[in-house]
Amino acid sequence: MFTVKIYLPEQHRVWNDFAAQAKNAPFLFQRGFMDYHKDRFEDFSLMVYRNGKLVALLPANRVEATLYSHQGLTYGGLLLKETTKFRDVIFMFKSVLEFLSAQAVETLALKLLPSMYSAQPNDELNYLLFLTEAQLTRRDALSVLNMNNRPKISRNRMEGVSRGQKYNLIIREVDSFDEFWNAILTKNLQQKHAATPVHSLEEISALKKSFPKQIRQFNVYQDNQIVAGTTIFETETLAHSQYISGNEDKNTLGSLDFLHWHLIEDVFKHKAFFDFGTSNEHQGKKINEGLQYWKEGFGARTITQDFYSVNTKNHKLLDTVML
């Protein structure tokens, strides 16, 4: 019933058109986002067809005998249209596993899309991973605020907001990332974690040009000097703080409290969710308590993201699912 083919660069428009109509494909699945780091990965994305018609996508890259949900993306899985029924998803996934097994890919490693990123229910793959005896390899805890049923913001966070008002902080949405990357973000990551941002300044600037409405930068200023900021990835259902950082006076000034209170109360009040991201460290095994406390002060609560590994030969376990 279904055939599987490896994505080719000349199919980028077909890929993008399908992803734009999928129920579970935020803009990160557009090739313009996926391909910004194509030199780092061996792209092995898959396209699933039924009678010659494209019915599903699987963003992925290959490393030897393992196919990964694209390692340059935060989440992945089968991209489906909202009209796709569960029975068809069974055979799509079975066809993918059979194809990979024939390609000498022994393991499929998937990082599933968190529930709030999908416009429609999206747990078909979760169930099929159970049937194919996939192993849970990691689980991250995301701090997510339900914008339609928000708990009260904590006194500590509101005190920060008051300090921001007291010190006459100003929030500006800007098109350039230079100030935030150079004066705040890169410096903090280097000093605290001996790390650099996942996206270089050049990469995030290029992505902004490709996705001007989805990637947004908000900076906080005191006396015209940047003191904090956050980079927002905006999807149909939510706003996600991709990067959050402030200078050494952030607690005194209340800059990050002031900024996120403004984003929640005004800029993104129409969204269903506000995603503060994970506070996990050590492959999901530990939680940064201070960071978690700060996010929960805004009313954020926990939604998990699961990572699975499945043996491609287990496609046989999907032969007799439907009675």
> Regarding the domain delimited by 2-138+306-318, which CATH topology (the fold level of the hierarchy) does it fall under?
Aminopeptidase (3.40.630)
pLDDT of 11 reads 98
Going edge to edge, which strands form the sheet with 79-80?
2-6, 46-50, 53-58, 79-80
Give residue 6's pLDDT band: very low, low, confident or very high (50, 70, 90): very high
pLDDT (mean) for 117-143: 97
How far is 175 from 100, CA to CA, in rounded Å? Answer: 42
Task: State the alpha helices, DSSP H only, in 63-166.
Answer: 86-102, 124-131, 155-166
pLDDT of 216 reads 98
Residue 20 pLDDT greater than 90, yes or no: yes
Give residue 194's pLDDT band: very low, low, confident or very high (50, 70, 90): confident
How far is 313 from 105, CA to CA, in rounded Å? Answer: 9
The encoded tokens of residue 321 equal: 């699912």
pLDDT of 73 reads 95
What is the crossing angle of helices 86-102 and 124-131, to 10°?
Answer: 50
Give residue 323's pLDDT band: very low, low, confident or very high (50, 70, 90): confident
pLDDT of 37 reads 86
* Average pLDDT score over the chain: 96
Strands 53-58 and 79-80: antiparallel
pLDDT of 1 reads 85
pTM for the model stands at: 0.94
**DSSP state for residue 112 in the 8-state scheme:** B
Phi first, then psi, for residue 215 (nearest 5°) are -110, 120
Residue 299 pLDDT greater than 90, yes or no: yes
Integer-rounded Cα radius of gyration of the chain: 21
pLDDT per position as a tens digit, 64-84: 999 999 999 999 999 999 999
The top-level CATH class assigned to 149-271 is alpha beta
Residue 267 pLDDT greater than 90, yes or no: yes
User: What percent of the chain is predicted at pLDDT more than 90?
Assistant: 95
The greatest distance separating any two alpha carbons of the chain, rounded to the nearest whole angstrom, comes to 69
In 3-state terms, the chain is what percent helix, strand and coil (to 5)? 40, 30, 30
pLDDT (mean) for 219-238: 97
- Do 2-138+306-318 and 149-271 come out as alike in CATH topology? yes
How far is 186 from 171, CA to CA, in rounded Å? Answer: 20
The encoded tokens of residue 87 equal: 């029975």
Kindly list the domain boundaries of the chain, sorted by start residue. Answer: 2-138+306-318, 149-271
Vertex 145 angle, CA 142 and 149, to 5°: 140
Amino acid at residue number 291: L
Residue 100 pLDDT greater than 90, yes or no: yes
pLDDT of 192 reads 83
